[in-house]
Homo-oligomer: A and B are copies of this chain.
Amino acid sequence: MKILVVGSVAYDAVETPAGKRDSQLGGSASYFSTAASYFADVGLIGVVGDDFDPADRAMLDDLGIDTSGLIEAEGKTFRWVGTYTDDINTAVTLDTQLNVFAEFEPALSNEHASAPYLFLANIDPNLQLKVLGSMNSRPKMVACDTMNLWIDIARPALVDLVGRVDTLLINEGEAKQLTGLEHLPDAAKAITDMGPSSVVIKRGEYGVALFGPDFSFAAPAYPISRVIDPTGAGDSFAAGFMGYIASVDRFDEEALRTAAVAGSTMASFAVEDFGLDRTRTLTQSDIKTRFDAFVDLTRFNPLS
């Protein structure tokens, strides 16, 4: 197993300007593992309830994802209810039912605990810390995501966690919230001063900025005429990013740059349909073609 991910597996009720889904497979770990499966072997640590549809597990299994760490507990699967009806870029959470997630105690097999790449997807930073602490040894590379909620209610644990990872992936607004700094390069500097050697700032339809120890990189988002459902775009970005790094087994500057575009590639697919509908049906050729479209979108000649 190349990448271990811990995060949420959920049933989402989502409304966007393109339509509505009452109960679709979602959660940060579902999005991450599905998109990352195109790059490397992925193991998923999470919990679902006894209402979890065996077809959803089979879908993950069919993508080659190791779901042995996706345990089933008594009760209902985590549920998120959200809408993007006013602004396609910002989810409004209408309801969150933690359900089985409230009592979740991640347990890692020896194989899980030996994964060289670890992604701590968006969940309570105390759980993220627990998984990191359960690894047999420090993985080659650890990255994590978070959200405004944890900055608000679990800042000490989050700051502890950020100090232990190699890369923090975070939304622009959350980077400013975490650091109290309005200017992006300043916020990025404050974050790398907390510990990570690099930080990826996700800017939604405006693309991504990556700040490393002595370089910065920025890429626009792929222009999508019709965003159907932005849910999971950030997790899909993280999947392309970590997936590429795990596939080349390197995370130097050159690898991080390409990884950011691989992440943008996977995020661009995620929003093209509801839930995992686009991502789970991709081919390697689809991914290569879209990555090449990024090359073409961003290329220019030197000043003459």
Residues of A within 8 A of B (CB): 88, 182-186, 203, 205-207, 209, 215-221, 223-227, 244, 248, 254, 257-258, 260-262, 287-288, 291-292, 295-304
On whether the beta carbons of A258 and B298 are closer than 8 Å, the reply is no
Closest Cβ neighbor of A208 among chain B residues? B220
Tell me whether B216 and A297 are in contact (CB under 8 A).
Answer: yes
Which chain B residues lie closer than 8 Å to A186 at the CB level? 225
Inter-chain contacts of A291 with B (CB < 8 A) = 302-303
Q: Measured between alpha carbons, how far is A297 from B300 in the docked complex, in Å?
A: 12
A-B pairs with the 5 shortest C-beta distances? A218-B220, A206-B206, A257-B300, A185-B225, A185-B223
Cβ-closest chain B residue relative to A250: B304
Q: Is the CB of B209 within 8 A of A261?
A: no
* 16 additional contacts (CB under 8 A) given A185-B225, A217-B300, A244-B303: A183-B224, A183-B227, A185-B224, A186-B225, A207-B207, A209-B223, A216-B297, A218-B223, A219-B300, A257-B300, A258-B302, A261-B300, A262-B303, A288-B303, A292-B302, A295-B302
How far is the CB of A10 from the nearest CB of chain B, in Å?
28
Q: Which chain B residues lie closer than 8 Å to A215 at the CB level?
A: 296
Question: What is the CB-to-nearest-CB distance from A221 to chain B, in angstroms, rounded to a whole number?
Answer: 8
State the CA gap A183–B216 with chains docked (Å).
28
Contacts of A203 in B (CB 8 A): 206
Please name all residues of chain B whose beta carbon is closer than 8 Å to the beta carbon of A304 when the two chains form the complex: 248, 258
Q: CA A186 – CA B185 in complex, angstroms?
A: 31
Chain B residues within 8 Å of A254, by CB: 301
Residues of B within 8 A of A224 (CB): 183, 185
| A183 touching B298, Cβ below 8 Å | no
B-chain residues with CB within 8 Å of residue A219 when the two chains form the complex: 220, 298, 300
- A122 CB, min distance to chain B CBs, angstroms: 24
Q: 16 pairs across A/B with beta carbons < 8 Å?
A: A183-B225, A185-B224, A207-B207, A207-B220, A209-B223, A215-B296, A216-B223, A217-B297, A217-B300, A218-B221, A244-B303, A258-B303, A260-B300, A261-B300, A262-B303, A291-B303
CA separation between A184 and B203, bound complex, in Å? 16
Q: Which B-chain residue is minimally distant from A205 (CB atoms)? A: B184
* Distance in angstroms between the alpha carbons of A88 and B176 in the assembled complex: 15
Q: Are the CB atoms of A218 and B298 closer together than 8 Å?
A: yes
Residues of B within 8 A of A220 (CB): 207, 209, 218-220
Q: In the complex, what's the smallest C-beta–C-beta distance from A89 to chain B, in angstroms? A: 11
